[in-house]
Structures are given as C-alpha cells and as structure tokens.
Structure 1
C-alpha cells in the first residue's frame, strides 16, 4: 500500500519536532500536526519561561548581596508587564526557530488538531485524512485541577506566564517541583506566597536530607509553607478567593494556583479505537522502543508518562528514528538521568536517594552542609548540601545530591561521572577546584553513617 507519508507526527513539542526533523533529514517523507504552538510545554509554558522567571526572581537577593559587598544599589520595584512583554517576545522567537527548523528539514506541517482513524490514518480537524506508514504520538501532558468546590477559579502553571499583573498574595497547592519552583519564583518577585502540601514533606521521591534543606530554606526566605495541609474548598470573596483548608483554617488569597499533577494528552484522539492501549492515568503504554501494541504506532515524551523531562523526550525521539528509519533498534535508556529542580536554592540530583539505596544494599553516605563563602560574607544564613551515596561492595557512587545555587550546572557534570560508573575513589583522586562549593564532592573523607 502506498502511503502519503513515511511518518506522521502528532505534537509539535521538543520530542515530536526532533523526531520529525531528524527523520526528514534522513530522507523520510514526514508531516507533523500541532494544534497550538510549536515548542510544546518546555518552550511555551514550561522550562524556558520558568527559568527566565527564576533569573528575574533572583535579582532581589542579588541586590541585597551587592550592598553587603560594598555596592550602592538603587533599584525600583519589579516591573512585571515589562518583563512579561520581553518574555513573550523571546518565546515567539523560539517558536519561529522550531518552525524554521522543520521547514528547512522538509517536514510538511499542519496547524491543526489530529486524531487517529486507524493504525495508518490520521484525520485533521477539518476532516482531511492522510495516511502514513508510521505514526508517532508526542502530544505531551496538561495540568489537572482537583475536583473540589471552586477549583474552576484557580490557575495552573499554564496561565502563570500570562497574568496581567502580579497578585499581592497567592496560594500554591502542591508539593512537587512545579509547585515549589513557582513558590520560590513568586516569593522572589515580591508576592506573598502561601503553599499547601498534603504530604509530610515537599518533593516526594527525592532524597530526604536534600528536600528537607530545600524546605527549610524556602521557609527561611519567606514562603509560608504548610505541610500536611490541603485545600477543601474555595469561593469568590472580597479581595480574591476565600479558601478553606483541611485543618479548618480560612484565609483569602488574591490568586490560587494548583500544581497538583499533570495528565497525558490522550483525550479524544481515537487511540483506543485504533487499538492503542492506555494505562490507568491515560498514558500510552509502550515498550522499550516506544512502540505501542499497534506495530505502526509509537509514542514518546510525557504522553507515555515514563520520565517526564524534555531531554528525555528528545532522546526518545532520537531512539525512535534510529529504530524505525535507520535499522538500528535502540532501546531508550532511562537509567541514571541527572535532573535539576530550580527552587531557591536549586537541587541537582542523579541516582538513588539514601533511603532507596539502603533498601537495595549496604551503603556508605558522605555528606556535608555548610554556609558557602558568597552568602556567609553577606551575613546570610543560607546553607548548601553536598551528598554522595556509595555502594559498600563495589564503591560505585549510586547517588549524588546537591542543594546549592547553581546545583543544576553542577549535577550535569557530576552526572557524567556517575553515569560512567565512577567510584568514590575516582572522586577522591580528582583534585579540588578551590575555592568552590563543588570541591566538597571530591574532599568528603568520612562516611557519616556506616551502619
């Protein structure tokens, strides 16, 4: 059977665009459909605008530090409309880069929602149908709000970049990295931030000591963090929204933001009708090669709910092209992925947490927490953490956890060593770069707990 295309990609985020572009560069006939904006969550409503907001929010502390270092600083308040205008211009430019790269690679694009009709047919919103030998689903995820009274009045991380003005007060509900990052960002921009999290500690799944320090530093910086607390209901009132907490307290916030989870974008796409299996959370079930139970249909990125990170989606897209178009079956490697959480201070992590490592085998834990030179001189109490989890048997570093300004930059480089299987002795043989915070990673001599 002759198909219109060798590959049809549904979704113009980082993973879908990369797969489409590389496949087309290799000579495949490729089309891509995107119903919204090119660049997806990362470029349009995630990593990129968030990181720019992180940069903006850090200047308040930097100006205070500058005074401690002898500078005369005269700064006005933060101009949100001016920043937002420049932010959106940057995102427009990046979207055009994505569009341009697809065009240069010869990918035919459709500005349309698309759904499956059968294993080889895609239907666009206007009813047009096209066929493809292979179909790749890369539609990402979307924030979800809890089912409770008044939730329709709240915003999510999607809307945070489009506010007409910054509110005086905001309640953020959630304890994951998105909730914590925006709590720090908005606090830094001068918003009075309250955060509710139903669990005993924020950042579930990360190393306990590391997330405990992040929590302490967030509270010290002014975030009004309430653990073991959830929102029960909210209603419109004078000056904002009247919120009832599960502990019975009531308070009014100008804006409420839910960061309580994301769901795969698989609704009304014809997936199950085409024979694609969905998991309990709506994710597309795939094998190690990102292939669904339907041989011609693949899926990558957040829509599969494996490891929901932009660089992982890109890697999955590249592995898909290698497998399907280059005759080189390439399973996706989801082991030992370094990641960063852009709270203030940042957390960088790779490998096992202390608890997970101890559950697996006997380990030695090397850790230190201290006041770094930069902030100590400015007479700030901020602390940082450097931590290595080491297998007692093999001496391999099983986990590395950093809480410090610039932790994201540090963990990228430390991650290379951990991915390569470096031992504690390999770290020890590396000469320290002095004076730096990260030198502590190669000067840790004594395990804190050899139990």
Structure 2
C-alpha cells in the first residue's frame, strides 16, 4: 500500500477549505492545507467581511440625516478614510489569525505558498522546492474578479479587491456592473460622500433576482444620490491629467477619479496543474464535480466558488462539511441548494429566499399567488424621506406553500434569515398568517399580507 505524507491535502484556506480541513483533522486524519495569500480566503480577507465593515461605515451618513429629523444636530461631522482603513485592516488581521490558530488547534499543518498539482497525489509548493503527497486532495481556491480585456484602457480600472485598499477616497467614481458587488460598492462610496455613477449593460440591475426587487432597488438607490445608467457599457477608458474619462456606448463621456469593474468573478483555476492530475473543467471554466463534489480524478474533490455552483460563503462551508461526511465518515451527503437565503448589502439592503415570481410561474403548474406591499418605514416618518420598503411573498396556488420571500429595506438581511426557515420548511401561507405579528415592526408585514396582487406583475425574466 502506498504511503503518503498526508491523508488529505487542501489547496486554499478559505471558509470551505478550512472547515473541511479542521473536521477531517479532528477526526484523526493527517491533514495539511496550503494558502498562497492569507488564511481566511475571499470572504474574510477581500470579500464579505471587509465589505460589510465598509457598508456599516458608509451607512453612518444616512443615519446622521435621519437623526436630524429626530431632533439631533451634528456640527463638523466628517469621515477619515485612513482611520477607517487602519481599523478595518487590524480587524481583518485578527480574524485571519483566528482562522490560522483554529487550524493549528485541530492539528492541521499550514503550508504558506502556492500549491500546484503535479499528478493526482502530488503537489509542489511553488518557489520552495517542496513536494508533498496525499491520498486525497481537496481544491478550494475560490474565485477572482474578472475584467474585460477588450475595453481599451481597462488597465486603468480597479476591481473590488483594490477597492479595499485605495490610498485615498476618490471624489468621483464610476462602477461598471449590475450584480451584488457593483450595487453594494455603489452604496458604499455614495454613503462616504463620493459622487457615484453605476453603469450596467443590462435592462436592470441584479439579474436573476425577482423583477419587483430589481425595479424597486434601482429606484431606491437613486434616492441615495447614485446615478444609474442602464443598457450601456464602456467603449474605452482614457487617462488624462485630471482623471479618467469613461467613454460609453451612448456617447456620454464621464470623468471620474476611479473606475471600478464589478463585472463578475471567475473560478481560480489558472496554473493549478489540473490537467496533470486528470481534473477537468466544465464549459464555463469551473472545476467539474458531481453532487458529492468529486472531480473527474478519483481521489480529488472540489468545493466552493471554484466549482461555480452557488457562490456563497455559507454554501462553501456546508459543501466542506458534506465532503468530510462523505469521504471520511462513510456517510454520503450532498448539499441541498434549494431555498438558500441570500442578502445584498446595498443601501437599502435586499434579503431574498426561494423562487422569484418568474421562476415560480414556470415551476408551479397550478399557478401562483403573489402578495406585495410597499410602504414607508416608521423610522423615516419624522424625516420626510420618501424611501419605501418592498415585501413580497410568492405562493404556490395549489399547495399554498410560500415558495419565495423577497424584501428590500432596512434590516432585510436579518429578517430573511428567519423567513428562510419557514420557506425551507415548506410552510403554507395560512401558517404564516397564523403567526402573530410583533408590533410595531417592519417584519410584521410578512404575516399580515392579505390581498393577492392582481395578475399584472412583471413575469419576464
């Protein structure tokens, strides 16, 4: 029997890889994990965690506006970008250290360096003249931002990764993209006082989300001062002495200090040595896996964004748990991707779980019942603000199961986590209605919606 250095070698110390490595080591196996940058991966180092800190920092300006309506006054309030950056970086370093310490406590060997597959059982640590063998290998390298090389001057644009480390806060920024990253950073920079323009080539932002959510949020973010240009994209970016000129398809030329592309992310598979190990990619450039996360190589698995299934940190973690149960505990498990809640930390934020109205109309043979409400939240009653909340329930007309819940408004990410339990459990509209409201709250609207919407809602995808 072949002797290997490790029972399991994990490439990539993000949330999914770390969870799989720790569980396997705690189960008595010999495990190592390699990370070429910093332990914690995209979410902790250059993704959801620092982004949420930036969102919270930028929301303060809106909170101050609301506070004035309640009788508070603030003179000389100002934001110091360097102070925020330093505090953010200290916290990210602390969190990365916790991840690394937890790996050590579990008995996982941490290898600092880029691991490349030499064959199905062997990895080389680039630049260290180190070769390691393992019986089983797990790839969890995540994804990276993508920019269109076809745009002249694209080298002058940044991505979300550079946005976390800008040496100074720009006065003007243009963000290209319509997904959650683009929308979130538009809110961040606008909230920090930056003149912000968002352009997107599609007919509306947040493709794939419910159409009522998309339309509602597009209107709400404009109320926060963000200029939204739809159905348009760059033809070129020109660097001048005073800034960057964004030349657009519609003939507009917009000068800004920074251009940020948030036009998607791609699986991080470059130069991993996949072909040498017999690991195939699918047509979209992601690692091809079955429902148990197994690749086309017998002893290699892959989880998280590198597989491009459902690119969410909690999903990668659950995939890591399922991998451990399947491979090392003889308890085959595959993650259930149905009714996974998600949030967009735009301003206002979005919380959504289950089917959109369009998806439900395709999936529910007996049709759907739709319940929608739009209202001004109590918080804004004193301020004169015309910002409004959207809440929407999508119900299978035959079974009366609530198959989709969509919220745009303050605290919607917090609400959707609990609403997701009901949607995942398959509770009916009658069971939602039987739940007593908590008053006065926004969330009470979710259990007091009585009037079905007339069948005139947008049903297009």
Instruction: Name the TM-score, length of structure 1 as normaliser.
Output: 0.99
CA distance in 2: counterparts of 1:28 and 1:139, whole angstroms:
22
Deviation at 1:156, TM superposition (A): 0.3
- Contact 1:386 / 1:438 at 8 angstroms: preserved in 2? no
Counterpart residue number, 2:413 = 408
Is 1:326 aligned to 2:322, yes or no? no
Deviation at 1:449, TM superposition (A): 2.2
Counterpart residue number, 1:366 = 371
Counterpart mapping for 1:277-356 below 5 A: 277-356=280-359
CA distance in 2: counterparts of 1:114 and 1:127, whole angstroms:
11
Counterpart residue number, 1:440 = 445
CA distance in 2: counterparts of 1:117 and 1:246, whole angstroms:
46
- Contact 2:120 / 2:276 at 8 angstroms: preserved in 1? no
Counterpart residue number, 2:107 = 106
RMSD, aligned α-carbons: 0.9
- Contact 2:239 / 2:245 at 8 angstroms: preserved in 1? yes
Deviation at 1:251, TM superposition (A): 1.9
Counterpart residue number, 2:242 = 239
Deviation at 1:15, TM superposition (A): 0.5
1:297-334 deviation line (CA, Å, top 9, x unaligned):
00000000000000000000000000011110001211
Alignment equivalent of 1:178, drawn from 181, 184, 187: 181
Secondary structure of residue in 2 paired with 1:185: helix
Counterpart mapping for 1:53-202 below 5 A: 53-125=54-126, 126-147=128-149, 148-202=151-205
CA distance in 1: counterparts of 2:454 and 2:116, whole angstroms:
55
1:329-377 deviation line (CA, Å, top 9, x unaligned):
0012111100000001110000110111112220000110000111122
Deviation at 1:50, TM superposition (A): 0.4
- Contact 1:264 / 1:281 at 8 angstroms: preserved in 2? no
Aligned length: 451
CA distance in 1: counterparts of 2:263 and 2:282, whole angstroms:
19
1:50-93 deviation line (CA, Å, top 9, x unaligned):
00111111111111111110112234221000000000000000
CA distance in 1: counterparts of 2:393 and 2:192, whole angstroms:
33
- Contact 1:143 / 1:261 at 8 angstroms: preserved in 2? yes
Alignment equivalent of 2:207, drawn from 200, 204, 220: 204
- Contact 1:272 / 1:278 at 8 angstroms: preserved in 2? no
1:257-303 deviation line (CA, Å, top 9, x unaligned):
00001110101111022111102232101011000111100000000
Deviation at 1:450, TM superposition (A): 5.0
Counterpart residue number, 1:15 = 16
Secondary structure of residue in 1 paired with 2:381: helix
CA distance in 2: counterparts of 1:154 and 1:39, whole angstroms:
26
Deviation at 1:130, TM superposition (A): 1.2
Secondary structure of residue in 1 paired with 2:292: coil
CA distance in 1: counterparts of 2:108 and 2:51, whole angstroms:
29
Is 1:417 aligned to 2:422, yes or no? yes
- Contact 1:141 / 1:302 at 8 angstroms: preserved in 2? yes
**Unaligned segments of structure 2, at least 5 residues:** 457-461
CA distance in 2: counterparts of 1:291 and 1:127, whole angstroms:
29
Is 1:5 aligned to 2:6, yes or no? yes
1:108-164 deviation line (CA, Å, top 9, x unaligned):
111010011111111111232111111000000000111211101111000111011
CA distance in 2: counterparts of 1:56 and 1:284, whole angstroms:
37
Deviation at 1:195, TM superposition (A): 0.9
CA distance in 1: counterparts of 2:145 and 2:455, whole angstroms:
42
**Unaligned segments of structure 1, at least 5 residues:** none
Counterpart mapping for 1:209-220 below 5 A: 209-220=212-223
CA distance in 2: counterparts of 1:210 and 1:309, whole angstroms:
20
Instruction: Name the TM-score, length of structure 2 as normaliser.
Output: 0.97
Counterpart residue number, 1:227 = 230
Counterpart mapping for 1:370-381 below 5 A: 370-381=375-386
- Contact 2:25 / 2:108 at 8 angstroms: preserved in 1? yes
